[in-house]
């Protein structure tokens, strides 16, 4: 699954969570915080590829710390998926993982 985050529409952390939860169909009980995002991204069916368009505008609106926390979480989910995939599938090129791109 490939989703596109529209950075020009992300002005607050709430905007980020609203957008990603709609795109990934998290439902009404999604917690709208990074802990809930971790839980969902580590249990969702893969592959998931997030393209964050106009990420620099989001970074400016969200602030350095908030933006970094989100990107760090994305990277942690990606690394967790790679580690899990390599450990249990003995595959040197995992494809069923979470990944992202900042554009």
Spans of all domains in the chain? 2-102
User: Contact at 8 Å (CB) between 51 and 5?
Assistant: yes
pTM score above 0.95? no
Tokens of 92: 């040197």
Residue predicted with more confidence, 2 or 93 = 2
Fold of 2-102: Barnase; Chain D (3.30.370)
Tokens of 4: 């596109």
Per-residue model confidence (pLDDT) at position 87: 55
31-89 tens-digit pLDDT: 999 999 999 999 988 899 999 999 999 999 999 999 999 999 999 999 998 887 755 56
Residue 94, pLDDT > 80, answer: no
Tokens of 90: 């003995």
For 9, 38, 64, 85, the CA distances from 17, given in Å and listed in that order, are 11, 12, 17, 27
């Amino acid at each position: 699954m490939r989703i596109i985050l529209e950075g020009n529409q992300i002005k607050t952390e709430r905007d980020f969570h609203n957008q990603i939860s709609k795109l990934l169909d998290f439902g009404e009980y999604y917690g709208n915080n990074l802990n809930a995002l971790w839980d969902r991204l580590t249990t969702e069916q893969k592959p998931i590829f997030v393209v964050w368009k106009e990420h620099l505008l989001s970074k400016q609106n969200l602030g350095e710390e908030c933006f970094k926390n989100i990107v760090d979480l994305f990277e942690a989910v990606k690394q967790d998926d790679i580690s899990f995939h390599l450990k249990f599938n003995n595959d040197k090129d995992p494809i069923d993982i979470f990944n992202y791109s900042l554009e």
